[in-house]
Amino acid sequence: MYDNLKNSTFLIGKTLEELEELAILLNHKKFRGKQLFNWLYVQQVDNYENMSNLPVDFRNKLKNLSIHPLKLVQQKITDSKQTGKFLFSLNNGNLVESVLMHEGSRTTVCLSTQVGCAVDCDFCATAKMGFIQNLTSGEIIDQFLHLQKMSDNKITNVVFMGMGEPFLNYKNTLEAAHLLHDSRGINMGAWRITISTAGIVRKINQYAKDKEPFKLAVSLNGSNNNQRLKIMPITNACTLDELIEVSKAYTLKTRKRITFEYVMLKNINDSMQDAKNLISLIKSIKCKLNLIPYNEIDGPYRRPDDQTIMIFLKVFKNAPFPVTVRWSKGQDIDAGCGQLITKESKYNEKN
């Protein structure tokens, strides 16, 4: 049974209970698994030799198992040093990107849940890759652990908003979120963890039913169904009306505020009428609205000019919900929202 574990598993991603089972499997006391859990997630030590309270025999057996499922390949840092984009290699050679952002007292990481994406939003760079694979919970949370080690500041917030659609990798995404939240380990507050979806209605229902404690963000990006359908093909399966209905039901069931994301595209969804339609669409829902001026990629879509954005924003002056403009960081290194795509040639390797 132990032989089956060799070179086929990674410790990062395992829960406390799984590590306790591993300790027993390796003929050690159950509490050794708890000590190992502490080294991995609290102390964030990745060298067995430094796990000083573990018996030598236990450490020697563990050396047959790898700790990290990801390997850092390359990184790009903005000139301002406020944003970094990191390229990781999976064990099978596939690549995934993560983003680290500093702003004031907040340090936020944007984690990916898939290699590529099947949702195929027309304005998103990741969609151009198609869907390649789901990440394991270990591959998801390992992004956090790598970035925390490289960050000068403690990570305060996590958003599952990188490559991929988190709700199409629901089980692994939620397992990673719970590992982040586990009070015995990383112990990040649930209110500091946000899971974003392009609008998978059945999974939003499940998320509410499961009473998940984390925040929820939903990408609207259109003020009516036809408009949204042109840029988000998922609208064929989950109409805008259905998405609004399930979002309202979520807030009523959980008593939590939902965040709606709205990417502004020039001459597509940035008119004053779009703003008015948007208010009518979500005014009865306990929510906040994030307006995101489009981050351009190689494609037909463009970012509205600043004047158009400000005129759009003024329509919301008396809206019954808070509205913010999220000026994406890291556009100069293609680290803004919707710009993630794994092309190694776009990186400058840092030694």
Question: Which of the residues are catalytic?
Answer: 97, 337
Task: From residue 176, give the alpha-carbon distance in Å to each of 11, 22, 141, 296.
Answer: 13, 19, 6, 30
Which residues touch 151 (CB under 8 Å, ≥6 apart)? 100, 102, 107
Buried b or exposed e, range 297-307, using 16+ CB within 10 angstroms: beeebebbeee
* Token pair of 102 as six digits: 């500093």
Instruction: Return the DSSP state at 318.
Output: T
Q: How far apart are CA 4 and CA 27, in angstroms?
A: 16
Question: In degrees to the nearest 10, what's the CA dihedral of 337, 339, 344, 348?
Answer: -70
Pairing between β-strand 106-111 and β-strand 95-103 as defined by DSSP bridges: antiparallel
How far is the CA of 164 from the CAs of 102, 167, 344, in angstroms? 23, 9, 18
User: What is d(CA 183, CA 265) in angstroms, rounded to the nearest whole number?
Assistant: 41
d(CA 230, CA 223): 12
**End-to-end CA distance of the chain, in Å?**
40
Q: Are 23 and 32 in contact (CB under 8 A)?
A: yes
Residue ranges of E strands in 30-94: 71-77, 83-89
Instruction: Provide the token pair at 111.
Output: 């984690």
Cβ atoms within 10 Å of 29's Cβ, excluding its own = 13
Rounded to whole angstroms, how far apart are CA atoms 113 and 137? Answer: 8
Say which amino acid occupies 347.
Y
